[in-house]
Structure 1
C-alpha cells in the first residue's frame, strides 16, 4: 500500500538534492533572500523544515508565522523524547531569530539563521523560493557552543502547531509520536517482535516488482530480511519520529518510508 507518497517524495528528494548542491557550490557566496509571510498565503500556517543540526543529527523544525514578523515554533531530533518550544521573530525579511527556554523559563539556546536564495528548489503550491532554505547556527547559551544547521522546507499545512496530525484523525499527537519512536527503535535494534506488533494487518508491501500481502506477524517475520534491508533500515534511522507530516490518509515518517494510522499503527512501508 503506497499512500500518496510520489509527489511528497519527489518534492523532498528534489529539495534535499538541491540542499546538497547548496552545501558544496553555493554556500561560500550564499545570498540572503526575503521571506515575508504577510505577502503570501502562509500567515498562520505551519511550515515544516527538515535537515541537519551539525553533521549527523537529523532535525525537524516547524514554524508558524504570525503578524508583525513574530514566530512560534517547535523542533525535535531523532532522539528527542519531546518537542522543544521556540519563540522568535523575523528581522528584515531574511534573518531568523528563535529562542528556546529551560524548565525555569530562562533562555537556553538560540537559532540564528538566514533565509537563502534557492532558485532551483522545487516549488510546491503556496510556497516560494524565498522561504525554502534556512542556514545558520544553533548556540547553547550556557556554554557558548555553536553548531551549524541547514534546513529545507518540506511542507506547508494548516492546523495547530501543537496538533499537527488532526487532519489524519489523530486525537493525541503524542501517542502517535510514541508509536513511531517505538517502531523506529525496534527496527534499529533489530527487535523483530516489536516491529511485527507495530503493524496493522493485512499490509501490502512491494518486493522485487511484486506486491505481497502480509496477513499477520508470522508472515512479516518470514520475509523480514527482504523487507528491512540495510538501506531501508538506514532510511528509517535517519527519520525524526516527531513533528511528522500528516494528511487525511495518515502520518508520514521521514520521506514517506513509513505511514501510520490515527492509532499509531504502521499501515504502509514504502521501500525505494
Structure 2
C-alpha cells in the first residue's frame, strides 16, 4: 500500500511539472485566458506579411541615416551613369523634407522607376518602385560630394547586384518640387513641357517639316552652311530644312532625353552638347501664350 501511494505521489509531481511548463510556453504566444474566454493575441505577436516585415526593415535602415548633414539642398539634381558599367541610366533626385525622392530610367528602355530614400553626409540609400508601387530594387552608395555617387544596385529579392556610378550633370537650384521648369515657364506644367518636347522630337524623327515650322517663333537665327542666317517665316524654314536638320544634328535631337531637361530664365533646353533646341512660352499679339521653339543650335 505504501508503495502504491509513493507511485501516485511521483506521478502527480511529474504531471504538475509538465503542466507548468506548458503554461510558460503558451504565455510567449498568447495572453493568459480566464472565464473560458479564447486567448487574446499579444500586440507584438500580431502576424505580419513578408511585405510589411520588409518595409519595417527598410524603415529601420533609413532611420539610421543622419540627414542633418546631407549635402543636398533645395532643387533638382540630375545625374548620368551606369549600372554594371554597361547599362546607361539617367536619374533625377530632389530633397523633400528629410527624404530624397525622384526617379530614374535605363537609356535603352526610358521607362521611369520612382525613387525614395535618404542621404546623409556620405551615405545614400534609394529604394526604387515601379508604377504599381512594388519595390524593384535599391541603390546603396557613398559620396564625398554630390558630384559623384558610387555603390551597389541590388534587386529587391537580393538575387542580383551590380556596381553603379553616377555623375552630376546639372542642378536646378531653388526649384519647387514638381515645378522644375517654372524658372522659365509658369503657364505650363512639367508634364506639358515634356509632352511638347516629345512632339517636337517626333516631328524631327518623321521629317514632318510642315508641322515643325508652325512651332517656331519667327524671326529666328539658325546656322546654315556654317553661317548664321535669319529665317523670317515658315516657308523659308521649310525651304532650308535639310540644311538645318543635317544628319548629325537630326540624330542628336531624335536621341535626346525629353526628361530631366536643363532650364533657366531663358527657357528649357533639350539636346546634347552644343546640338540643342530651346523652348519657352511666347505671347502673341492677342495676349495668348503657348510653348514655342525660340532657338535652334545646330
Q: TM over 0.5, yes or no? A: yes
Offset of 1:165 from its aligned partner? 0.6
Matching residue of 2:69:
38
Provide the C-alpha distance between the structure 2 equivalents of 1:63 and 1:230, rounded to a whole number of angstroms.
Answer: 34
Cα distance in structure 1, aligned partners of 2:215 and 2:84: 31
Equivalent-residue separation in structure 1 for 2:79 and 2:68 (angstroms): 15
Note if 1:101 corresponds to 2:129: yes
User: What TM-score, normalized to structure 2?
Assistant: 0.61
In structure 2, how many angstroms separate the alpha carbons of the residues matched to 1:155 and 1:247?
11
Matched residue, 1:134:
149
Aligned to 1:61: 91
Structure 1 CA distance, aligned partners of 2:87 and 2:291?
Answer: 24
> Are 1:71 and 2:100 an aligned pair?
yes
> Is 1:246 aligned to residue 263 of structure 2?
yes
Highest RCO, 1 vs 2 (Cα 8 Å, sep ≥ 6): 1
> TM-score normalised to the size of structure 1?
0.66
Segment of structure 1 superposing worse, 194-203 or 143-152: 143-152
Please, which of 161, 173, 195 is the counterpart of residue 190 of structure 2? Answer: 173
SS at 1:182 equivalent: helix
The count of residues paired between Structure 1 and Structure 2 equals 219
- Give the C-alpha shift of residue 107 in structure 1: 1.0
Q: How well do the aligned residues superpose, as a CA RMSD in angstroms?
A: 3.2
Q: Which of 216, 219, 230 is 1:213 aligned to? A: 230
In the alignment, what sits opposite 2:217?
200
For the pair 1:222 / 2:239, whether they are aligned, the reply is yes
Q: Secondary structure at the match of 1:168?
A: coil
Do the aligned partners of 1:52 and 1:150 also contact (CA within 8 Å) in 2? Answer: yes
Larger Rg: 2
Quick check: 1:151 aligned with 2:151?
no
Instruction: State the SS of the aligned residue for 1:252.
Output: strand
CA distance in 1, matches of 2:191, 2:122: 32
